[in-house]
Amino acid sequence: MSTHQHHTKDFLFTYVFSTDHKMIAKQFLITGFLMGFVGLIMSTLFRLQLGWPGQSFEMIELFMGSWQEDGVMAPDKYLSLVTMHGTIMVFFLLTAGLSGTFSNLLIPLQIGARDMASGVLNMLSYWFFFISSVIMLCSLFVEGGAASAGWTIYPPLSALPQAIPGSGAGMTLWLISMSIFIMSSLIGSLNYIVTILNMRTKGMSMTRLPLTIWAFFLTAILGVLSFPVLLAAALLLVFDRSFGTSFYLSDIYIGGQVLDHTGGSPILFEHLFWFLGHPEVYIVLLPALGITSEVISSMTRKPIFGYRAMIGSMMAIAFLSFIVWGHHMFLTGMNPFLGSVFTFTTLLIAIPSAVKVFNYLTTLWKGNIKFTPATLFSIGLVSTFITGGVTGLILGNNALDINVHDTYFVIGHFHIVMGLSAIFGMFAGVYHWFPKLFGRMINNKLGSMHFWITIVSSYGVFFPMHFLGLAGVPRRYYTWSEFPMFENMIDINELISVFAIAAMIGQLIFFFNFVYSAFRGPKAPMNPWKANTLEWTSPVEHFHGNWYGEIPEVYRWPYDYSKVDKNGDFIYGEDFIPQTTPLGENEKDGGAH
């Protein structure tokens, strides 16, 4: 006998201050995408400057105001744009937007829990993210402009407003925003870890978890261990900037005078920053890899190949990511032996990455593939992960890094692995779990159009950059017209900018499709992809607690696709067996072999 309770909540608690993980997931998604859109516009703007240096773009002055006087971008504003673009894309879109959305949406649903370990902390995590986004956007409008020392904000450039105007109020707001962002990320990660360890349903052992959960779990651990160190770095920078300490500053002569700071070293900042900075890129990438495993498996109707190897390689990547940060600092004058250690550990990371790629390929082999937009983006992720990953072997090798460090070669590399692979993972996730997020189906035709425009134009933007880097072209240069040796590169720049504009337009198709389908798309069935994982057993409509009645019990791993019996027929008649189906008499669970 159960008592029925009528649950009515007002608008404020259902939509704004919700503690329901599904609503919070949507909040993270929307905010992340809005910030991502801002970052996208920024990159289009500075690509206009790079493709057509010094050209006047009158129309843009309309909304850029003093940043684009007489239609031409100012050099320090160019640096503000590249700084804010990097900050927004890495942190706001690909960390909060990606992890925040999918960890929140999928963890309780895929492990069989009513909600996250703490709904209140979860809600706070989102609101801190929102507030930090607002502050970061406000920093665009202060005197002196937004932070302009690169997203890596090395002091002294980021500490001294005399060195560049953006290092005044703009940098202060950046630091405040990021401190709040770090709190958001830490609170979120706490929830993810505890929920996964503590709240799994009956039968859901760690080796029956979908790879998405493993990815989110390891990502959260990375976050818990590395973001606090960025907070420490930022705090010391705040003190140097505003309270007259000398943690990072020493022996500086600027603006006609010697500054009071003595004894500090900018290299200290670099160590603290990159101690987060490197794990950060895996915080960005691992969720995308987890999503890809899930999408490829369910859409090829095959178990993911090497489930345990996939977990092992993710763990190896997570562990190694803590001991490679020095490869961002090969040329700081560090002890050469230390440089060698970092080369060694960096090139080691290539091994688990390669294992993952081969496992994805083997999963596709002899599969039966359905090319939804999610599948397309997952395949795109594998391609870009390979392409971007192999150039890491050059950058990670200290002797070779000497000539490509801080050139366009680096920009090509990290954009292909983050700006392509990670965002492709995010898109794949949005397309695949759109029915779960909004109860409706997103349009396939527009989705595949989005994929094709994006992959073609993005490769067009970033592949040529390897050549630019090998020609010695440095990054963060406002224009190359001061160097005769780069004269024959300007047409390459133009080509890149054309591709960049095309890529931007492609994203508009996605935004339209997303908004239209969220409100007017066809209603989704409970399990549109005929997938095995638990989230597809919970009803389409959203309510607290995820399942009516008891939470389902789990009997098998999530990858029983196309499992056949001795006669070659599908066991149970279908090419998929949900985790909630008990094992047959002589059936062994695939996960425990």
Partner 1 sequence: MMTIIVVIAVILVVITASQLLKLAELRAKSKGELIYELTQKENKMQGLLLLLFFFAFMGFFVWQIVAWGDRILPVSASEHGEDTDFLMSLTLYIITPVFIITNALLFWFSYKYAYDPKRKALFFSHSNKLEMVWTIAPALVLTVLILMGLNNWNKITTPIAQEEEHILIELTAMQFNWTARYAGEDKKLGRSHVTLIEGVNGTGVDTLDPSSKDDKIVKGEFHLPVGVPVQFVFRSLDVIHSAFFPHFRSQMNCVPGVVTQFNFVPSRTTEEMRDITNNEDFNYILLCNKICGAAHYNMQMDIIVESQEDYDIWLAEQKGL
Partner 2 sequence: MPTIVSDNTHYKDEFRRKNSKPLLWIAMVSIVMFFGGVTSAVIVSQGGGGFIAIPMPIEFTISTIVILVSSLVFHYGFIAIKKGNYNLAKMSVLITLILGLFFVLTQYLGWVSLHDNGFYLAGKESTQESSFLYLITGLHVVHLIGGLLSLIVVLIKTFKKKYNAEDTVGMQVSLTYWHFLGGLWIYLFFFLRYSIA
Q: Closest CB to partner 2 among 162 and 245?
A: 245
Select 9 or 523, whichever has its Cβ closest to partner 1: 523
Query: What SS3 string covers 286-338?
Result: HHHHHHHHHHHHHHHCCCCCCHHHHHHHHHHHHHHHHHCHHHHCCCCCCCHHH
DSSP states along 106-161: HHHHHHT-SS-S-HHHHHHHHHHHHHHHHHHHHGGGSTT-B--STTTT-TTTTT-T
Which residues, 6+ apart, have CB-to-CB distance to 368 below 8 Å?
A: 300, 301, 302, 562, 575
Query: How distant, in Å, are the alpha carbons of 5, 163, 238, 273 from that of 241?
Result: 56, 12, 5, 16
Chain-centroid distance, C-alpha 449: 22
Written in H, E and C, the secondary structure of 537-562 is HCCCCCCCCCCCCCCCCCCCCCCCEC
CB of 181 to partner 1, least distance (A): 22
35 interface partner picked from partner 1, partner 2, none, CB below 5 to 8 A per type: none
Q: Is 266 in the site for partner 2 (CB under 8 A)?
A: no
Q: How many residues bind partner 1 (CB under 8 A)?
A: 132
**Strand, coil or helix: 591:** coil
DSSP 10: -
In 3D, which of 463, 453, 454, 294 has the Cα closest to residue 374?
Answer: 294
- In this complex, which beta carbon is closest to partner 2, that of residue 1 or of residue 488? 1
Q: Which of 21, 432 has the CB closer to partner 1?
A: 432
Among 53, 71, 203, 228, binds partner 2 (CB under 8 A): 228
**Using CA atoms, how far apart are residues 587 and 570, in angstroms rounded to an integer?**
13
Does the footprint of partner 1 cover residue 492 (CB under 8 A)?
A: yes
Among the residue ranges 271-279, 425-433, 487-495, 519-527, the one whose residues contact partner 2 (CB under 8 A): 271-279
d(CA 422, CA 215): 13
Phi/psi of residue 257, each to 5°?
-140, 155
* 254-313 binders of partner 1 (CB under 8 A): 254, 258, 262-267, 300-309
Which C-beta is closer to partner 2: that of 234 or that of 382?
Answer: 234
Axis-axis angle for helices 423-438, 444-462 (nearest 10): 160
Of 109, 113, 236, 355, which one interacts with partner 1 (CB under 8 A)?
355
8-37 binders of partner 2 (CB under 8 A): 8
Residue 175 and residue 238: Cα distance in Å, rounded? 7
Q: How many residues bind partner 2 (CB under 8 A)?
A: 58
Q: Which residue in 10, 333, 548, 566 binds partner 2 (CB under 8 A)?
A: 548
140 belongs to the binding site for partner 1 (CB under 8 A): no
Told to check if 562 binds partner 1 by CB under 8 A, we report yes
Determine, following the binding rule CB under 8 A, whether residue 51 of this chain makes contact with partner 2.
no
Is 498 an interacting residue with respect to partner 1 (CB under 8 A)?
Answer: no
Tell me the per-residue interface mask from 170 to 189 with partner 2, x by CB under 8 A, - otherwise.
----------------x--x
- Three-state DSSP at 50 gives helix
The entry of partner 2, partner 1, none that residue 39 binds, CB within 5 to 8 Å by partner kind = none
Query: Residue 2 interacts with partner 2 (CB under 8 A)?
Result: yes
Q: How far apart are CA 60 and CA 77, in angstroms?
A: 14
- 434-473 residues near partner 1, rule: CB under 8 A: 441-446, 448, 452, 455-456, 459-460, 463-464, 467, 470-472
Q: Which residues bind partner 2 (CB under 8 A)?
A: 2-8, 114-115, 117-119, 121, 186, 189-191, 193-195, 197-199, 224-229, 231-233, 235-236, 239, 243-247, 260, 263-265, 267-268, 271-272, 275, 541, 543-550
